[in-house]
Structure 1
């Protein structure tokens, strides 16, 4: 039977991989004060007033996703770093699930590999989260959020729920590499 720490590690790995990937795909990293415009890593939303009721339209930057259409170099770098980290977290979660179902004699190397993968993922995701606000001074962001916008100052926009979810998911992902080091502990060793 797998140890409780192994099961917690596998569950946490899946949860943070899903949370961070969901956050990566959402266009609500920064939101305008009137809630008509929002910006994410790969897409943005704007209020469409052609209809009798206000309807929000969301699109990828440039129509179809293309890294070169993202309006800021900092956002492009952040997209690569955070998205790459999400991919590595998903790989780590897959390995964690596999470790949970293989015999105990074969768990050490895949567990170590998953722990290293998760460590690298967390580090590059932190870098992506820190680089993203550097793009707040871009021309397209200033167009919507005011000319006062600059790096780390969003002007008339607020930090959105997707950015906060990404921060929280990354913060929780920090625990995954640590838990991976203790997956071979038995329940009797933990509760003794």
Structure 2
């Protein structure tokens, strides 16, 4: 017989597991990891020529792990507009165009996303079943979340290691180097992936609480009473 068991801990763990997965995915796909120096279309930087610059034409380009946002300059009757697209044409691009450290970081983040996708599925399945292959579904999922968190940390370390490439120097300045971003600033995507990593480790801890909550005396009593839907506060 199938029992649907919902407790405060299992519900919290499920929702936060889904949230952490969405945060990691959103940060990976976003081009706002680094925000470049202010500039106008067609100029390397606003600091190159501050005279006669129309404030409405000033913008800050941004770059992510594999995509970036910039502004197309005015041409004939086409107005300036921001455009975001990938700058990666192939994975084996030169280090100056697509830093090797970013390639490695992207691989680690991709594995993280796959693991968290699997955990998201198991967290939903956990409402109906508490074991997989003879092991607690909460324990297995918590272990996978811990591994995903470690992979995220490695990716976060590798990302600033690629700041010395020629591509980053165009955005941040000639003094950019590994772990030194010069004139650039960290975008919200970088902070989002940090928050997602912390939340992933929190979910790994909550999985223990979720597992014990489904084995409480109150749950067992309602199972013995023959209830199929069990909600325990």
TM-score for both structures, normalised by structure 1: 0.88
1:57 aligns with 2:61: no
Instruction: Please report how far the alpha carbon of residue 26 of structure 1 lies from its aligned counterpart in structure 2 after TM superposition.
Output: 0.5
- The aligned residue for residue 150 of structure 1 is 177
How many residue pairs get aligned? The number is 187
Please, which moves more after superposition, 9-18 or 140-149? 140-149
- Offset from partner CA, 1:72-130 (integer Å, 9 cap, x none): 0111111111221122112111111111233x577952222211111110000111011
**Is 2:147 the counterpart of 1:123?**
no
Q: Is the 8 A contact 1:28 1:163 kept in 2?
A: yes
Secondary structure in 2 matching 1:137:
coil
The partner residue of 2:161 within 131, 134, 137 is 134
Matched, 1:8 2:2: no
3-state SS of paired residue (2:92): helix
1:36–1:56 contact (8 Å) kept in structure 2:
no
Please give the alpha-carbon distance, in whole angstroms, between the structure 1 residues aligned to 2:115 and 2:186: 25
Please identify which structure carries the higher helix content: 1
Q: Distance in 1 between matches of 2:37 and 2:191?
A: 17
1:62-141 matches, cutoff 5 A: 62-63=88-89, 66-69=90-93, 71-102=98-129, 104=130, 109-141=136-168
1:50 and 1:124, CA in 2 relative to 1: closer, same or farther beyond 3 A? same
- Comparing 66-75 with 15-24, greater Cα deviation is found at 66-75
What's the secondary structure of 2:6's corresponding residue? Answer: coil
CA distance in 2, matches of 1:132, 1:168: 16
2:136 counterpart SS class: helix
| Structure showing greater Rg | 2
Question: What CA distance in whole angstroms lies between the structure 1 residues aligned with 2:60 and 2:125?
Answer: 44
Residue pair 2:105, 2:156 contacting (<8 A) in 1 also:
yes
Which residues of structure 1 form unaligned runs of 5+? none
Q: Structure 2 vs 1, CA of residues 187 and 36 (structure 1 numbering), >3 Å: closer, same or farther? A: farther
1:187: how far off? 9.6
Please list every run of 5 or more consecutive structure 2 residues that lacks an aligned counterpart in the other structure.
39-58, 220-233
2:64 to 29, 40, 45: 40
Runs of 4 or more off by more than 6 Å in structure 1? none
